[in-house]
Structure 1
Amino acid sequence: MRSRTAIRLPLDRPARSLARRGRALGAALALGALLASGATMTLAAPAVAAVGDVKCPSTDCVQIAPAAGAPVAIAPDNAGSVYLAYSGGDLLKLDLATGALSTVTTGLGNLRGVAVADGSAYITSFDGTLQKVTLATGSRRTLAAGLPALFGVARFGTTTYVTDTNGEIVAVPDDGTARVVATGLGFSYGFSYGLAFDRAGLAYTADMGLGRILQTNVATGATRVLADEAYEPTSISVGGDGLVYFQVGDEVKRVNATTRVQSHVTNIVGINSFSFSLAASGDAYTAGSGQDGLWRIAGLTSR
């Protein structure tokens, strides 16, 4: 039986040395053991920048909140603020114009994911709870509880969608009952850490165990593979160009969901970046390990 014991540390960054497909499943199982035990892993030193890489710090990659610590999830609201969720249960707001950090609320549980829409934050936790926080007041209510450990979260229409450690997408309609709409999206602990939708309502996830980028029709549950990777992919985002962006180790890639053609975008070097969150502007936000704070990568989708 899988452990559901809550941990209070951010999800550990996978060891950078596991870079071949034959070891991806072993990496996923190791990650599952970490989730259960709370153990830590040693991070490799950041790579040396090459031509075309994003070097942090630089004019392309600026540290915008040195005191932000290590959020487990980041969500820009595309209106001048970025929201940060922490495993200890805090939700913070960063004002991009002033650099001021403020607390929206605390005590939310062992957080894993955050999405912002229509003046609210939708937050997943490792204890299987989905909560809605009103950003103006910090008030909260539980939308679903008793689910498997939750990670990715996204809004589409009047429904909140989440990913869990069973490799499922769960739909939680406003004032409705949670139901599984897709399965088989991850093997064992090869769950998707992120979730994104395109304008047509198709969902995108990354199977961290088998290294797949997946497209799912949440109305039918039908899923197809867009790309196979040699390493655990994270950070699923859909850009304004309609392409699907994700991170593999230090590398950012994109794939055309229609043609399945993928291409290299850049490498992020200088910080141990595990994932990023893409804003509507094409800028990306990422947190380095430890106390590296929050970084903004300018114009990621235009590279």
Structure 2
Amino acid sequence: MDSMLRSRTATRLPLDRPARSLTRRGRALGVALALGALLASGATMTLAAPAVAAAGDVKCPSTDCALIAPAAGSPVAIAPDNAGAVYLAYSGGDLLKLDLATGALTTVTTGLGNLRGVAVADGNAYITAFDGTLQQVTLATGSRRTLAAGLPSLFGVTRVGTTTYVTDGNGEIVAVPDGGTPRVVATGLGFSYGIAFDKAGLAYTADMMTGRILQTNVATGTARVLASQTYEPTSISVGPDGLVYFMVANEVKRVNPTTGVQAHVTNIVGVNSFSFSLAASGDAYTTGSGGGDGLWRINGLTSR
């Protein structure tokens, strides 16, 4: 497994991820995404029927959950720009823009490689790829430049000031400063498909292999476990309330980064989804399958 995670050879994935059973879905997706090659086989599994909504659940579709792009396919990463658009990155190398006001879906650029993560800041998209490449795309023109290459397989990405932070398949956080040399700032974090920072500059990752929610001081490299899960957590985000949000199967949870106290937020039912992207407004965006294909907006997720 370690040798596979350390591979720097890109494995081309299909545009849409295969359907998967809800049973043990979090674990299956965590392992498949971590290894990459398992997804490349294109194998499909029987998809279980979406769960029935209970009190307090978010039912899609409803006033709480709206389908905003029925033909968006299955992006590997979603990034709201908090200014009226959502950007979608696909494993086939495409970067698309969804205008939330008009519903128009347009192509920003193509041919970016075997993509894994996207973050948007200051008019640019920051894109990670399985071959260890970090690229910057100017959203207005689609022009691109390579910020780093030759790294281990890259997954999560976020932007803090003039530095781009990424997670890799070796369980590391790598800092890539503008005009500088990439450097490892933390190790031993397992496999996290995402990364988020709070206002204090602390990083949060979700280890899909062990179920740990980790808080890391990137200045010192020290990390502490905030919470542990039975199945692989995804969608690590810091909400506008300062709490840390993540998803386990179809359940959304949050944890207080100071006290470590966890709380159930909601279950997302009606679509088969394993992750979401949180906007500054507290809304979240997710893709679904199994009768809920497309891009969905969950209104006011952090206020629940």
TM category, shorter: over 0.9
Query: Distance in 1 between the 2:32 and 2:95 partners?
Result: 28
Q: Distance in 1 between matches of 2:101 and 2:29?
A: 40
Cα distance in 2 between the residues matched to 1:7 and 1:95: 28
Superposed CA deviations along residues 6-59 of structure 1, whole A, max 9, x for unmatched, are 122256677532389xxx6x9855654553561335243321111110011111
- Matching residue within 7, 11, 16 for 1:6: 11
Unaligned runs of 5+ in 1: none
Asked if 2 retains the 8 angstrom alpha-carbon contact of 1:19 and 1:230, the reply is no
Name the aligned partner's letter for residue 247 of structure 1. M
CA distance in 2, matches of 1:218, 1:32: 23
Provide Cα deviations, 1:43-99, integer angstroms capped at 9, x if missing partner.
433211111100111111000001111111000000001101011111111110011
Distance 1:12 1:125, change over 3 A: farther
> Per-residue displacement from partner, 1:80-129 (whole Å, max 9, x unpaired)?
01101011111111110011111111110111100000000000011110
Structure 2: runs of 5+ lacking an equivalent? none
TM-score normalised to the size of structure 2? 0.92
After TM superposition, list the pairs within 5 Å mapping 1:242-281 onto structure 2. 242-281=242-281
Following superposition, the deviation at residue 217 of structure 1 comes to 0.5
Contact between 1:193 and 1:206, CA under 8 Å: does it hold in 2? yes
Question: Equivalences for 1:152-163 in 2 at 5 Å?
Answer: 152-163=156-167
| TM-score, normalised by the number of residues in structure 1 | 0.92
> What secondary structure is seen at the aligned counterpart in 2 of 1:67?
coil
Number of aligned pairs? 295
Contact 2:79 2:86 in 1 (8 A): yes
Task: Tell me which amino acid in the other structure corresponds to 2:187.
Answer: T
Aligned pair partner of 1:18 in 13, 20, 24: 24
Q: Structure 1: how far apart are the matches of 2:35 and 2:81?
A: 34
Q: Which amino acid aligns with 2:251?
A: E
Matches within 5 A, 1:113-262: 113-186=117-190, 191-262=191-262
Q: Are residues 252 and 51 of structure 1, via their aligned partners in 2, closer, same or farther at CA, if it must alter by over 3 Å? A: same
Write the distance in 2 (CA, Å) between the matches of 1:117 and 1:33. Answer: 29
What letter is aligned with 2:12? I
The superposition leaves residues 200-235 of structure 1 with CA deviations (integer Å, 9 ceiling, x where unpaired) of 110000000000000001111000000000000000
The one of 101, 111, 114 equivalent to 1:110 is 114
